[in-house]
Structure 1
């Protein structure tokens, strides 16, 4: 086939999500089970937008930490992980026996996520952070019009200088909830679970 194509601004590498809002996403196979800096089990999810203006854009580093030091922490963790499983299509009664099994079960599933801008205390950079998860929205993804620049302008004091990250934002996928002290991957990043072991 001879060379030839028509340019398309939506068909480029590094497509990124430029607005907060709610997005229908697929859970990517780069998601993994890890250990947090405090030694807790932690799932780190990466997503790809599957429809709308930002289709193909990535939302990365949604850290979900399993805490069970107190009854309240255990209940909150259970609700958090259960919420995502139900959003991904699990029915009542599905049992998960390990975090690795849970993460592998989620890969390839589709959910709807709500993302908001947040400025990191560690890096000073503003990125999208996942705030809620639910079932796919049949009406499609809904960006809310709030860009990083708008958020930084509204949330910086008159004397504060917002971090300059526009060049990064236009060329790279978004990072969300990134914690540079997050610890190491469990099993060196490999999740050794067969398809027969997946509960749904």
Structure 2
């Protein structure tokens, strides 16, 4: 698997090539979880969970996102950025990119989620296939760090993962950045 890096982006790396001792133990369990993040957040917050839609519309993906999605340079995708709040506090910033070609057929419903969690759609759809997951340490200066932290306290770094999913055979990319208030232990 190729590493993707460009100016303003972190170095996204598959788990198998990442030096695990670099990841703080308290965040590693969140990064490694292969189930629905939505379901896990709901359990951890004892149901006090909601999605805050920050932005949705057409945008050009970052270079590494475009390559991972197999898109041409200059292509556009539907961009959805949300905060996942537990107890009214943002624990996760999620950025989803869905290429135009992926918004056909049954996947069209992804364009009208509003404040419904994407995870509820993905993990209940029998056609969903989880592809590669990469992790990264995001720092000030990285575009995604700035988007995630825009209304939050300052942090030296945050950790995130991104996963390429396929719904009905069509790709979409989900970035999940774990914010400073996420608990260090969960169910």
For the aligned pair, the TM-score class normalised by the smaller chain equals: 0.3 to 0.5
Flag the structure with more relative contact order, 1 or 2, with Cα contacts below 8 A and sequence separation at least 6: 1
TM-score (norm. length: structure 1): 0.31
Could you say which structure has the larger radius of gyration? 1
Structure richer in strand, relative to its length: 2
TM-score, length basis structure 2:
0.33
Higher helix share: 2
